[in-house]
Amino acid sequence: MASLALPAMDAIFLKGITVSCQGSGRIWGTDAFADELDRLLKLGSNSVTIHPYARIQADGNVSWRGWMDSNPPEYIVRPIREAHRRGMKIMIKPHLAYWGSPFSWRGDIRFDDPEATKRFYETYTKWIVDLARITSNADIFVVGTELRHMTGDQEQWRHIIEAIRKVSSAQLTYAANWDHFENVPFWDALDLIGVQGYFPITREPNPDIAALEKGWQPVLSQLKRVHRRVNRPIVFTEFGYNRSLKTAAEPWRYQQDTEIAAEHLQARCLEVGLKILGEEHAWFRGAFLWKWFAGPAPYANFYLDTPMLRQVITEAWR
């Protein structure tokens, strides 16, 4: 299937939330996931994403639970049905699980051995195309996430994108980390510029709204510059802030702080970010907040289901 033409400037503005999981992801195929979609609708969300995993190994091999096209797993295909039933858009955002490998995060994945690189692209292509095939009726499909050391292999990625277009009608993007999205050489082959939106905004301690708004200005300029160069709308494939006193300077930071000031700063950063990005419909397509859970997970990093953050999201998206 060829990708549908994207109405770049007047498409729906995505008010998205990532529904994450603790464990294998099978909860995406349960009633608990469907119930959470009803809660997200009440917050004002109109879109959702899930992030199915495969595992990366040191020798380049990508492994995953196999499936048959005739009997795909409910935890992957049911979320699409449930989202569409509610009038929501859904993005499928595959992740490589690096735990237990020599890689410290997905952005660290690379191989010195040419055979390992070859093995990576062979197994990764099989996984990602098979996943795109069984989720072909999703609205957006992410062809890769945060693989900054691998994106220079332009020929391989263009082959992957072409293969996905043959099996899926979803809009395609790549989820580039905030410090690398300017350097992805195959944006022109995709429908959207995907950015993991953890930009440092200010190093001012406990910044107020004015300081945060000022800190966003160079980020907006950078985003607009890439949009104009590539002629594609931008979507934040992830966006959020942890409960941390350093979250304005290091939004990607996973360590949490217990002080009430950290909770207020988390909410303030999210409030300002959603407000500023929400005013950029001409070139910005929306954001998927990181992260929500099907069921309680109050000690998880970047946890959104708190009274303060729910209020911020509802007010921004009403």
CA distance 87 to 180: 33
Pull the structure tokens for residue 160.
């992957």
d(CA 121, CA 143): 12
3-state secondary structure 277-292: HCCCCCCEEEEEEEEE
68 neighbors 37 (Cβ within 8 angstroms): no
Provide the whole-model pTM: 0.95
Q: What is the pLDDT along the chain (318 residues), one digit of tens a residue?
A: 444 344 443 479 999 999 998 777 889 999 999 999 999 999 999 999 999 999 999 999 999 887 766 689 999 999 999 999 999 999 999 999 998 899 999 999 999 999 999 999 999 999 999 999 999 999 999 999 999 999 999 999 999 999 999 999 999 999 999 999 999 999 999 999 999 999 999 999 999 999 999 999 999 999 999 999 999 999 999 999 999 999 999 999 999 999 999 999 999 999 999 999 999 999 999 999 999 998 888 889 999 999 999 999 999 998
d(CA 304, CA 291) in angstroms, rounded, equals 6
Exposed / middle / buried, residue 280 (Cβ in 10 Å: 0-12, 13-18, 19+): middle
CA distance 310 to 315: 9
CA-based torsion, 222, 192, 127, 16: positive or negative: positive
At residue 15, the pLDDT reads 98
Note the maximum CA span of the chain. 55
Residue pair 174/194 in contact by the 8 Å Cβ criterion: yes
Burial category of 19 from C-beta neighbours within 10 Å (exposed 0-12, middle 13-18, buried 19 and up): buried
The residue assigned the tokens 């910044």 is 207
Pairwise CA distance, residues 188 & 158, whole Å? 10
Cβ partners under 8 Å of residue 310, min gap 6 = 43, 304
Polymer length in residues for the chain: 318
Q: Which domains does the chain have, with CATH numbers?
A: 14-317 (3.20.20.80)
